[in-house]
């Protein structure tokens, strides 16, 4: 079984794309044809809301499949619709995998060991039914994002599940928001490190503990990656140094303001590999921009998403060649 890090390297190289499309739908921004169809079928109901999320997500997946290497589902936007939303989440994930895309569940879970194990099984593993027979969990994806606040014993259950099943884990290291610096940039007494640098060092140590050698070394790729926001480009470069054998999932490109040149600083120099760059709003809501809808009917909204995804892929590809 190929490890997730290697699987990712192969997929990015084959597709010549480091683009991840974040499908984080807000019902009130969905295209009118999607909302209208769901209303006709289900009226004003939770089922209708879930159906709208699903139709939207599936159309976006189809539209971006030629250009993106993966999709990322921000589970918060599905949790808003309770079990109807989570069912759409799982169905969109399954459809994306059918079309050959990797699926990242952006769940940012984190807890004590016994609970982390439950989360790991819920999102990467198998669960027991009443008879005791185990079966793949309904919310299964290829990789998840997790929070480091609990330390090693909250991380290990995710790594063990991922390792056993060819899945991946991205640890939050340096987030893309403004107030990220409040905790993450605190300087630790004695070591001179910032908190996020310490977390990055931990990520490398966890890879070693997994038996992957010194953080997967300069050669291979660990199943364990890091989330580092493109909104702090100098930190992205520093993270690449601290994590030579680790994929970096980079939010912040597009609607959050970072450029392609910023984002590709997460690549291993000269290779075009090592960065997965996420664009959400700038791709999935492309139909809100007149330039993408010129000469198109409202029902052709998904073509706008396809164009935006292709443009983002090309921009990232060019930036990575120039860097």
Is 48 a residue that touches its own copies (CB under 8 A)?
Answer: yes
> Using CA of residue 109, residue 114, residue 119, residue 121, what is the dihedral sign?
positive
Distances in whole angstroms, Cα of residue 118 to Cα of each of 104, 105, 107, 121, 150:
18, 15, 13, 5, 15
Exactly one of 13, 76, 99, 164 binds its own copies (CB under 8 A); which one?
76
Is 204 a residue that touches its own copies (CB under 8 A)?
Answer: no
Is 160 a residue that touches its own copies (CB under 8 A)?
Answer: no
Exactly one of 150, 165, 259, 300 binds its own copies (CB under 8 A); which one?
150
Q: Which residues, in sequence order, are CB contacts of 207 under 8 Å at separation 6+? A: 213, 214, 215, 216, 222, 224, 245, 246
Cα first-last separation, the chain? 33
Q: Are 101 and 73 in contact (CB under 8 A)?
A: no
What is the pattern of x (binds its own copies, CB under 8 A) and - over residues 178-197?
A: xxxxxxx-xxxxx----x--
Whether residue 108 lies in the annotated active site: yes
Using DSSP, state whether 149 is helix, strand or coil: coil
Contacts (CB under 8 A) with its own copies, residues 95-134:
108-113, 115-116, 118-119, 121-123, 127-133
Residue in this structure with the two tokens 């999935």, named with its chain if needed: 284
Exactly one of 7, 55, 87, 246 binds its own copies (CB under 8 A); which one?
87
Exactly one of 176, 207, 282, 320 binds its own copies (CB under 8 A); which one?
176
Question: Which of residues 5 and 125 has its CB atom nearest to its own copies in the complex?
Answer: 125
- Please state, in angstroms and rounded to a whole number, the distance separating the CA atoms of residues 298 and 305: 13
Question: Which of residues 4 and 206 has its CB atom nearest to its own copies in the complex?
Answer: 206
Q: How far is the CB of 34 from its own copies (least distance, A)?
A: 9
What is the pattern of x (binds its own copies, CB under 8 A) and - over residues 262-301?
A: ----------------------------------------
CA 233 to chain centre: 19
CA 259 to chain centre: 18
Active site residues: 108
């Amino acid at each position: 079984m190929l490890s997730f890090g290697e699987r990712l390297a192969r997929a990015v190289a084959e597709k010549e794309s480091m683009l991840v499309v974040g499908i984080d739908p807000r019902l009130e921004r969905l295209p009118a044809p999607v909302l209208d169809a769901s209303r006709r079928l289900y009226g004003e109901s939770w089922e209708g809301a879930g159906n709208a999320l699903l139709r939207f997500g599936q159309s976006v997946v189809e539209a971006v499949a030629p250009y993106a290497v993966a999709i990322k589902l921000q589970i918060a936007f599905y949790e808003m619709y309770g079990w109807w939303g989570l069912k759409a989440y799982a169905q969109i994930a399954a459809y994306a995998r059918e079309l050959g895309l990797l699926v990242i569940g952006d769940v940012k879970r984190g807890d004590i060991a016994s609970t982390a194990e439950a989360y790991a099984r819920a999102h990467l593993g198998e669960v027991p039914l009443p008879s005791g027979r185990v079966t793949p969990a309904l919310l299964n994806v290829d990789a998840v994002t997790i929070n480091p606040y609990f330390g090693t014993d909250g991380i290990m259950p995710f790594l063990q599940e991922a390792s056993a099943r060819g899945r991946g884990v991205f640890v939050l290291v340096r987030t893309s928001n403004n107030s990220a610096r409040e905790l993450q940039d605190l300087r630790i007494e004695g070591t001179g490190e910032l908190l996020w640098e310490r977390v990055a060092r931990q990520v490398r140590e966890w890879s070693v503990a997994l038996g992957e050698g010194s953080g997967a070394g300069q050669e291979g790729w660990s199943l364990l990656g890091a989330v580092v926001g493109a909104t702090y480009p100098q930190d992205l470069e520093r993270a690449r140094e601290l994590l030579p054998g680790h994929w970096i999932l980079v939010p912040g490109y597009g609607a959050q303001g970072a450029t392609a040149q910023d984002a590709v600083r997460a690549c291993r120099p000269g290779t075009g590999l090592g960065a997965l760059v996420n664009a959400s709003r700038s791709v999935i809501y492309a139909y809100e921009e007149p330039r993408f809808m010129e000469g198109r009917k409202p029902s052709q909204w998904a073509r706008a998403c396809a164009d935006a995804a292709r443009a983002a892929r090309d921009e990232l590809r060019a930036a990575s060649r120039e860097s």
